[in-house]
Amino acid sequence: MKPTSDFQTPAGDSRSGAIERRLARRLDVRGGITGLWYALTVLGAATAGAQTNQPLVVASPENISQAMAKAQTVFTRFVQERHLSLFNDPLRSEGYLCFQKPGRIRWEITSPYQSILVSDGSGVAQFEWVDDRWKKLDIGLADALQNVVAQIAGVMEGRYASDQREYDMSVTNTMEGPVVVLVPRNERVRKMMAAIEVHLAGDLKATRRVVLRENGGDYTDIRFSDQRVGFELPPRTFDRNAPVDIAQVRQAAGETNAQP
């Protein structure tokens, strides 16, 4: 990754065009992305006390909500596999997830291509590594994305258990640990996202997997590893114009093999 000067911002205006509005109406994007982010906030909650030796906890929405309130920063690696029903092999990507209260999220893919989706709490931005530099996209549906992030911020403030308007939530205990299943209440959202599964560690201190199940058999399986919490993030980690190099975030998170 290159320094700040490599960031290339779009010259276009930020007005939402007619095509974008039509697309937004068609997508009902808020619901779909909310599902993803909701799952990620559960991840944040569950990793609030990671790397500790606390006793097993009975999984419930209240417990998860309480743990969520403690999570200030989260950093984790992920491997994402998109399983498509008509394809034999999944689409695989790897990267890092970074979260900081209030409502700051960075989803960075490092392989097989490089891409950053970042929110600083007041807006979202997306960057693509093109021609050896980061190119900032003039993303469509930015307002919808920002609304989603605002909802996440509310969730992160502890309204998780009491505010379940978006999803029906259930918790199932398995041998490997509890699984939280979120089913969208909105029918239109359910057409895109049938359910979200969050697989927690047995002691509720870490999230192992998040599975986003779509209709028609497609699903996205996100497996997390090396989760770290409660550390000081470098400035501009969530900068929407020139986010800091992920190597610096990794160093701040305490990864020993992080290279600047």
Partner 1 sequence: MNSLQNSQASAETSLGKPSLSSCNYSVVFRVFHIAIRESLLSLRKLFKSTRTRSRHGGTTLSHPMGEGQGEGVFPFSIPNRPCLILVAPMPRWVFRGSILTKILVPLALIATASTTGCAAHRRGQPLTVLMDAAQDRQAVSRAQLAITSLFPACYRATQRAIVTVGRKQFACDGALTVSPLDGYHLAVVSSLGVVADVRVNSDGACAVLKVTPLFRESWSRQFLARDLRWLFVPPAHPEPAGRLADGRLVLQTRAGSDGVTARYIFTPGGERWQELELVKNRRSFYRAFVRRYRTFAGYPVEVPCEFEVNAASYRVELRLAEFFIPPALQPEARS
Query: Which residue in the set 3, 58, 102, 113 belongs to the binding site for partner 1 (CB under 8 A)?
Result: 113
Nearest-approach distance from CB 178 to partner 1, in angstroms: 25
Decide: is 216 part of the binding site for partner 1 (CB under 8 A): yes
The 8 Å CB, 24+ separation contacts for 10-17 are 10/135, 10/136, 10/137, 10/138, 12/138, 14/138, 14/142, 16/140, 16/143
Distance CA 110, CA 129 (A): 10
Tell which one of 66, 72, 115, 146 touches partner 1 (CB under 8 A).
115
Q: Which residue has the tokens 């999570």?
A: 71
12 binds partner 1 (CB under 8 A): yes
3/17 with CB nearer partner 1: 17
Nearest-angstrom CA–CA distance, 130 and 116:
12
Three-state SS at 249:
helix
d(CA 62, CA 159): 10
Choose between 113 and 173: whose C-beta lies nearer to partner 1.
113
Shortest distance in whole angstroms from residue 151 CB to partner 1: 16
Distance CA 77, CA 88 (A): 25
DSSP secondary structure code for residue 8 in this structure? B
With respect to partner 1, which residue has the nearer C-beta, 126 or 227? 126
- Residues 16-35 vs partner 1: string with x where CB under 8 A? xxxxx--x--xxxx--xx--
Q: Name the segment binding partner 1 (CB under 8 A); options: 42-50, 52-60, 63-71, 111-119.
A: 111-119
Stretch 72-101 residues interacting with partner 1 (CB under 8 A): 82, 84, 86-87, 89, 91, 93
Cα(97)–Cα(229) distance, rounded to whole angstroms? 12
Q: Does 188 bind partner 1 (CB under 8 A)?
A: yes
CB of 112 to partner 1, least distance (A): 4
